[in-house]
Structure 1
């Protein structure tokens, strides 16, 4: 905190007047990151594009944000900030970004015939997909040595493949359950 205060040209005591310790400062930085991501997502929703295009751009923006802001992204989603619920600004910013994302996925799913009761599962699957791609890239786990691909190609393909499953609709998922011989636990 003292180093940071000196770096920005304020007294060493100044940060303690604004933040409850180092974790409070980190929570404020993470909240700013979520607000920046939410601003990008807000612009996507404001565009006059089909719902599926917005969902694609929303997911791609998440992955690109993670790539461009690796340290910030890690702070935003990683375990560094313990007791996130103690920082309302962080919770609010994270929820705002997530709700923008969720609304785009929801709109695409509804247009593809998904019922409202299935939307929480569809949204969480989309979130898992975008976050999984982002964290695999940031942890230098992509591409796999034996399966060489360009990272940008893998991002584009992965998001399109996932969204094609949404576009195929719930009937396609049910037919897959029959092929896999796995009864659906929750009816889509």
Structure 2
């Protein structure tokens, strides 16, 4: 995938690459999408293994949350083709591949657990934790995809990628650490008149 990309990968290409007959892969996978689903599942398991190591560390919850998010972005950088397959639209009906769904959930739940622990320690109510978790997920994923697509750093800004990753994650987690009362001042946006009222 790193050499030719997800779209060019085929069972025939795979067979030639590993030196088996062109019919051999079809005995193990239900077509190209079955192969891609198995590869994507392996990718999520690899990411989950990295996150399991982080979870086992004797560190504060906020430090673990930082490492979880940074690991996601670095994994994407190191495995661009695989990451694109894991999170992109190439596998249309993911529910047809239980192994892929399970691997994705395992990785996500490790990440979510660390963010939730950090949020609860910072005074967030349990009812708000799912929103905090999804905001953290959006931040790490957005950061990763902007970098991989060559959209960040923005042209004309002298920002190093590693500096941007560290600063962005720290800034987001500092908002979690500030607690829900800090957010309240920002979440109540002023009323903006509609065009008919203006």
Shared fold, TM over 0.5: yes
Matched, 1:79 2:53: no
Task: Note the aligned Cα RMSD (angstroms).
Answer: 1.0
How do 1:132-143 and structure 2 match up within 5 A? 132-143=142-153
> What is the distance in 2 between the residues matched to 1:15 and 1:64?
31
Are residue 94 (structure 1) and residue 104 (structure 2) matched? yes
2:195 counterpart residue number: none
Q: Secondary structure at the match of 1:142?
A: coil
Q: Which residues of structure 1 form unaligned runs of 5+?
A: 183-188
Unpaired stretches in structure 2, ≥5 consecutive residues:
1-10, 192-198
TM-score, structure 2 as length reference: 0.89
CA distance in 2, matches of 1:145, 1:125: 26
- Between the aligned partners of 1:171 and 1:68, the Cα distance in structure 2 is 38
**Pairs aligned (count):** 181
Q: Deviations over 1:117-147 (max 9, x none)?
A: 0011000000000000000000000111132
Q: Which has the higher helix share?
A: 1
Q: Which runs of 4+ in 1 moved over 4 A?
A: none
Deviations 1:133-166 (A, max 9, x none): 0000000001111322001000000000000000
Partner of 1:122: 132
